[in-house]
Each structure stands twice: as C-alpha cells, then as structure tokens.
Amino acid sequence: MAVDIAPKVKKAAVTFTTQSRKDASRAILTGEWDGWTSLEMKKNIDGTFSVKINIDLGKSYQFGYSIDGSWTPDADLTSVASPFGTNNSILDLTKVAAAAKRAQNGKPAVRKKSVTRSYR
C-alpha cells in the first residue's frame, strides 16, 4: 500500500493506493478528514485500487480501506487501535505543512547544514 503526498499551500493532494488481492472487486477509502465519508476507489489494471483527494495540511488523520467489506489499515503507515476492534492507519500531515510553508517562503523544504572552510 502507498500514500503519495504532494503539498500545496494549505492542502495536500494525497493519492492513496492499495496493494490488494488481484481478485478484489471493490475498495473504499474512509478517513477522519471528512467525517469518515466512504469514497469509492478506482481499480487499476495491476489489481491495485487508488484515489486522489485534497486534505488540509497541519493535522494528523486516522483512516483505512474497506476491501470487499474487510477493514484494512495501510501496511506502510503507523496504525492505532480503533474503537471497533480493528486498526486505523495514521496519516500525519503536520511535518508536510511545515515543509510546504518553508517552500512557500522561498526556503528549501529540507534544511541542510552549511559547511564553512577557510583557505590559506
């Protein structure tokens, strides 16, 4: 499974991709960012499902996939127990927000150490 994040100014375009069984027929993304509304995912030729949505930066969200009715967290992300006896994945966009803000201000998204050398 994978989550690709493309930060913008106040939101991020996030693409969610499942690595599900080839015979899976339906996948639904559900998360905190919109009050746990179900969003149908598109089945790709390789058998994965994906969907791209815009989510507010600066927050952390719980989410998961329902693949053919079975709740599945994203295996590549940290998960926490849900009140329903399953696990939810954590999508943390707090650090992404800081990097996007630095980029917006014309500063590099990642700070590099500067090395000073003296030549004689």
Q: Is residue 91 part of a domain?
A: yes
Domain limits for position 92: 2-104
Structure tokens of 71? Answer: 């709740």
Among left, alpha and beta (phi > 0; psi -120 to 50; other), residue 48 is: beta
Q: Is residue 110 part of a domain?
A: no
Looking at residue 115, its pLDDT comes to 34
Q: How far apart are CA 110 and CA 99, in angstroms?
A: 7
Looking at residue 99, its pLDDT comes to 60
Q: Is residue 112 part of a domain?
A: no
Q: What is the pTM of this model?
A: 0.74
Q: Is residue 19 part of a domain?
A: yes
Q: Is residue 20 part of a domain?
A: yes
Q: Is residue 116 part of a domain?
A: no
Q: Is residue 28 part of a domain?
A: yes
Looking at residue 111, its pLDDT comes to 40
CATH of the domain at 59: 2.60.40.10
Provide the domain count of the chain. Answer: 1
User: What confidence tens digit (pLDDT) does each residue in 45-84 have?
Assistant: 888 999 999 999 889 999 999 999 999 999 889 999 999 9
Q: Is residue 109 part of a domain?
A: no
Torsion of CA 82, 35, 50, 41, to 10 degrees: 100
